[in-house]
Amino acid sequence: MNYIILDLEWNQCPTGKEDENSSLPFEIIEIGAVRLDETFTETGQFHEVVKPSVYKKLHYKTKEIVALRSIDFASARTFTEIIPEFLSWCQDALFCTWGPADLTELQRNLAYYHIKSPFPFPLIYFDIQKIFSIVYEDRKTRRSLESAVDFLRLPKNIAFHNALSDAYYTSLIMKHLTAEQVRNNSSVDYYRTPQNRRQEIYLTYETYVKMVSKPFDTKTQAMKDRVVASTVCYKCKKNAQKKVRWFPAGSRNYLCLAYCEKHGYLKGKIRLRQRSDGKYYAIKTLKAVSPEEAYEIIEKKEIIKLKRKLKKSFTNGQN
């Protein structure tokens, strides 16, 4: 099995968001990739500068990236000329990235140019930034690529912020992971989400389970849906009793606490995201937690409840 470590650089509207093309907020201007075999040994590289067609001037943030200042776009080929060659070079490999954005933007660029996507649904890939945190840190921290390179004391013999060099550095970091650590911690891309209940995504990991729901017209509908709101223990597949029902912990996040008689406490988290058509979908995770972590969830709900009560009391007092 081959792995493709992908890195993209992209540009955005140089005159601001109000003038951007809503179908293509980020235009790819550089593609870099490294191919590894099943032993994480490098077997090839791909690199192309992409001639911009939509945003022909660089945004000031893009100009700040030193490696892009000296690129000769005049002699570069267009995205539509390059992408068939790149996709053919990938040869049905598994994709790896540093962070979750690259595959989403690649698919968005494909859609803009009406190029049929070769990717399966759901699109499963490996976020090496996330896996690095799982293996070396606290599972939550997300280091920059250069910071991770420094952490592992890897040689920095080429400049960062070039698509190929960043893909190369990511491949070096990947070589400090085992195949099991990578394959057991996959991610799912959210550019395409389930259209109906039959397409809903369920992924089971060592310490938690993830579900991606069908679309709903409103956030309220999503949270009232029986499947979205359910708390099934991912170890024994039995319903876990809710000890703390779903409560808002932010504008689009919800938490709950459930208890399985056989496997203990489960922390539920739902993130509601809005699609381009205005509808909402839920990303739900259920994770086994200790009694101490369960108490923290109970405490958090009480704190949020108290804050709302105080805010309401203050507002009424002003009126």
Q: Which residue has the higher pLDDT, 160 or 3?
A: 3
- Dihedrals phi, psi of 313, to nearest 5 degrees: -65, -40
Residue spans of the domains in the chain: they are 3-183, 194-310
Do the domains 194-310 and 3-183 match in fold?
no
Average pLDDT, the chain: 93
For residue 204, the model assigns a pLDDT of: 93
Predicted pLDDT of residue 255: 97
pLDDT tens per residue, range 42-88: 999 999 999 999 998 888 777 777 566 667 788 899 999 999 999 99
Say if domain 194-310 classifies as CATH 3.30.530: yes
Q: What is the mean pLDDT of residues 191-202?
A: 97
Can you tell me the mean pLDDT for 262-270?
97
Least Cα distance to 235 among 261, 269, 197, 198 occurs for: 261
Buried b (16+ CB within 10 A) or exposed e, 80-103: eebbeebbeebeebbbbbbebebb
Assign domain 3-183 to its CATH superfamily.
Ribonuclease H-like superfamily/Ribonuclease H (3.30.420.10)
220-244 pLDDT tens trace: 999 999 999 999 999 999 999 999 9
User: Which residue has better confidence, 283 or 207?
Assistant: 283
pLDDT at 317 over 80: no
The DSSP bridge pattern shows strands 27-36 and 42-51 to be antiparallel
Which residues are bridge partners to 285 per DSSP?
210, 269
Could you tell me which residues are beta bridge partners of residue 188?
124
- Could you give the CA distance from residue 301 to residue 209 in angstroms, rounded to a whole number? 23
Across the beta sheet with 253-260, the strand order is: 201-204, 208-212, 280-289, 264-274, 253-260, 241-248
121-152 residue pLDDT tens: 999 999 999 999 999 999 889 999 999 999 99
